[in-house]
Amino acid sequence: MTLARARLLSAGLATALTAGSLLVAPPPAHATPVLTNARLSFGGAGYGYTTTCPPQGAAPAPGPSVALVENAAPASASHTVTRKFAAQSDATDYVTNSVTIQGRASATTSGGRPTSLAMGYNGTITASASKGTSPGCSAYTRLGVFLSTGFTLTAPTWATITIGGQGPGSTAVEISQSSGDFYLARSDDTDGAGSSTVLLPAGDYEAALGGDAWHQTKTAYTGARSGTASITFAVPGSASQAPSGKARKIVRLPAARDCGTHTATATWPKKKVIRWSVGRVTFTVNGTKVATVKGKKIRKGRPVVLPLADNAAADITATVIMKNGTKRKVRASYLACTN
């Protein structure tokens, strides 16, 4: 773990998770909320400096904390921290650092479960040095913004973390169980992007998504940091890509695979004229042919049951050859049922 990541995860996200339990957002009167204590908050404010150049004056005041309502307009807030660092040997030798961050966050839920958490931020970093280049001071001021919330999963759920950022700073996401143990964490330092997916068992969780901006310098400096972070949640076996293609009205791939029977079932339209116009259909799963049907099976509209491995995602393609020789396809992708 890099120093920048350690700073963000320990000082920022951990603070956001702890603070979230103390700041309760009132639930909407018309619905039982899925998320608990959902907030957009500023945290992780800190600074670093050489031992001969300590900070001057009081520490910056805490930033705002805004309630986040699920399935509503995004929450937004901004905050600025400024700190002066002066050389012990020369009071006229000092560096002043300032960081401003605008943050935004949103959350969606459906059917009593979370479906997405997302945040983004833009920050500006400025510094000035009284002597142009300070001979005795090298310092930074850091500010972070975080979306934090709790939630309960009543069944296993896939969670996909996606992060990205540009400029001096970090972006990170953490999912932890109520016991405090981290279940999944991902971060980037400076410029980067990536994603991770994990199957979360049923249970109580807390999540924090955030980013910070900072740059250590002994001279005048102006820079910018931006980043995004999200978690998307999905039911095992659900479609990660809905059925699409010119043959989707001829062969009907399911909205979800059946994790209980370890299968996916393709069906046919009720109209006989459509079924009778089909010559044959070949089904592939992850590029491997698993079934070919033709003739009476199609004309009678018999479902086609495709066996699937529970621990693998499934990319299903049905290639239809019409009796007139034309070819059409329909494709869908499904999440795995287990790890």
pLDDT tens by residue, 229-262: 999 999 999 999 999 999 999 999 999 999 999 9
Does residue 121 contact residue 220 with C-beta atoms inside 8 Å? no
Q: Please indicate, yes or no, whether residues 74 and 94 belong to a single structural domain of this protein.
A: yes
Is 53 inside a domain boundary? yes
Domain of residue 222, residue span? 3-234
Q: Please indicate, yes or no, whether residues 168 and 285 belong to a single structural domain of this protein.
A: no
Q: Indicate the range of 44-48, 58-62, 168-172, 318-322 predicted with least confidence.
A: 44-48
Number of domains in the chain: 2
As given in the structure block, the two tokens for residue 171 are 């972006």
Is 55 inside a domain boundary? yes
- Residue 16 host element (H or E): helix 14-20
- pLDDT digits 0-9 by tens, 280-304: 999 999 999 999 999 999 999 999 9
E-strand stretches of the chain: 36-49, 55-56, 65-67, 75-87, 90-110, 113-129, 139-153, 157-166, 169-177, 182-189, 192-200, 203-213, 221-234, 239-244, 263-266, 278-285, 288-294, 304-307, 314-322, 327-334
Q: Please indicate, yes or no, whether residues 266 and 298 belong to a single structural domain of this protein.
A: yes
* Confidence grade of residue 145 (pLDDT, cut at 50, 70, 90): very high
Is 339 inside a domain boundary? no
Shortest CA distance to 246 belongs to which of 303, 323, 320, 297?
320
Between the CA of residue 157 and those of 106, 181, 202, 204, 327, what are the distances in Å? 20, 18, 7, 12, 37
Q: Please indicate, yes or no, whether residues 151 and 263 belong to a single structural domain of this protein.
A: no
Position of tokens 């773990």? 1
Q: What is the chain's mean pLDDT, rounded?
A: 89
Q: For position 26, what pLDDT does the model report?
A: 43
CATH number, domain with residue 252: 2.60.40.10
Q: Which pTM does this prediction carry?
A: 0.84
For residues 97-109, average pLDDT: 97
Is 244 inside a domain boundary? yes
215, 234, 253 - which closes a domain? 234
**Rounded (5°) CA angle 138-144-145:** 165
Q: Please indicate, yes or no, whether residues 254 and 226 belong to a single structural domain of this protein.
A: no
- pLDDT digits 0-9 by tens, 311-331: 999 999 999 999 999 999 999
Q: For position 179, what pLDDT does the model report?
A: 73
234, 259, 282 - which closes a domain? 234
Q: Is pLDDT larger for residue 57 or for residue 31?
A: 57
* Confidence grade of residue 186 (pLDDT, cut at 50, 70, 90): confident
Is 79 inside a domain boundary? yes
For residues 151-155, average pLDDT: 95
As given in the structure block, the two tokens for residue 206 are 């807390």
Is 164 inside a domain boundary? yes
204, 234, 264 - which closes a domain? 234
Q: Please indicate, yes or no, whether residues 294 and 157 belong to a single structural domain of this protein.
A: no
Q: For position 3, what pLDDT does the model report?
A: 32
pLDDT of 177 > 60? The answer is: yes
For residues 48-66, average pLDDT: 88
Q: Please indicate, yes or no, whether residues 287 and 174 belong to a single structural domain of this protein.
A: no
Q: For position 136, what pLDDT does the model report?
A: 83
Q: For position 192, what pLDDT does the model report?
A: 74
Is 210 inside a domain boundary? yes
Q: Please indicate, yes or no, whether residues 217 and 315 belong to a single structural domain of this protein.
A: no
